[in-house]
Amino acid sequence: MNGDSLGYIFISSLLINNFVLSYFLGICPFLGVSGKIDTALKMGIAVTFVMLLSSLAASGIHFLLVMLDALFLQLISYILVIASTVQLVEMIIKKYSEALFEALGIFLPLITTNCAILGVALFQTARAYNPVQSLVFALGAGLGFTLALLIMAGLREKLELARVPSLTEGTALILFVAGILSMGFMGFAGMGG
């Protein structure tokens, strides 16, 4: 059992150990879907939702696997649960918002291979969080992911208008911006210890 308070877990996963900028999880959507603020926000919400569901499921599965003494199945069962959750979310989005489904496109099924989600499940197990702590952790991580994505999207919308050397156009420029952003987030390091 882990004694960290819920507030600490939340702030820590949201800012201090931001999943994207200090753990490097979920970089693919971070680089791929951060072109427009609108899409970024929806992507963030979808990822947060999948994270919450799969975190809950992972707590249950871990309990079951410990009971059955079959921990070597951990990775396989986590990833299967995540894949099915993503499928579920995909169906829901397709039913209620065709436009959003089109906008997210290929990145929707790719949420499965978003390492941030598997990361949440693995970290909560490694740190022995109880189900409530896990949920708060997943919420913080999801919101942190959304926050990073939104900041990046905002910056990129402005960068469209900037004149940069032609060689740096595209990925290299985004990576430089991400590096500076990550330095900014290092400023939170002293908080909470």
Partner 1 sequence: MSTERKNLDLLIKGIWKENPVFVQLLGMCPLLAVSNSVQNALFMGLATTFVLVNSATLVSLLRNLIPKEVRIGCYILIIATFVTITEYVMQAVSLEVYRNLGAFTSLIVVNCIILGQAESFSSKNKLLPSVFHAFGRGVGFSFAILSMGTLREVIGSGSFYGVSLFGPNYQTWTILILPSGGFFVLAVLMLLYGKLNRRAP
Question: What distances in angstroms separate CA 81 from CA 89, 181, 192, one per listed residue?
Answer: 12, 33, 33
Minimum CB–partner distance for residue 180 and partner 1 (Å): 7
Torsion angle, CA of 74/149/106/91, rounded to 10 degrees? Answer: 70
Nearer to partner 1, 52 or 120 (CB): 120
Give the nearer residue to partner 1 in terms of CB position, either 7 or 128: 128
* 184 CB neighbour count, 10 Å cutoff: 11
Residues 6+ apart with CB under 8 A from 168: 176
13 and 107 in contact (C-beta within 8 Å)?
A: no
The size of the interface with partner 1 (CB under 8 A), counted in residues, is 40
149 and 29 Cβ atoms separated by less than 8 Å = yes
Binding string, residues 164-193; x marks residues near partner 1 by CB under 8 A: ---xx--xxx-xx-xxx-xx--x-------
Closer residue to partner 1, CB minimum distance, 57 or 118? 118
**CB atoms inside a 10 Å sphere around CB 68:** 9
Residue choice 12, 15, 16, 26 for contact with partner 1 (CB under 8 A): 26
Interface segment toward partner 1; rule CB under 8 A; list 8-16, 69-77, 141-149, 155-163: 69-77
CB of 138 to partner 1, least distance (A): 15
Q: Are 162 and 53 in contact (CB under 8 A)?
A: no
* Residues contributing to the site for partner 1 (CB under 8 A): 21-28, 31-32, 72, 75-76, 79-80, 83, 109-110, 112-115, 118-119, 122-123, 126, 167-168, 171-173, 175-176, 178-180, 182-183, 186
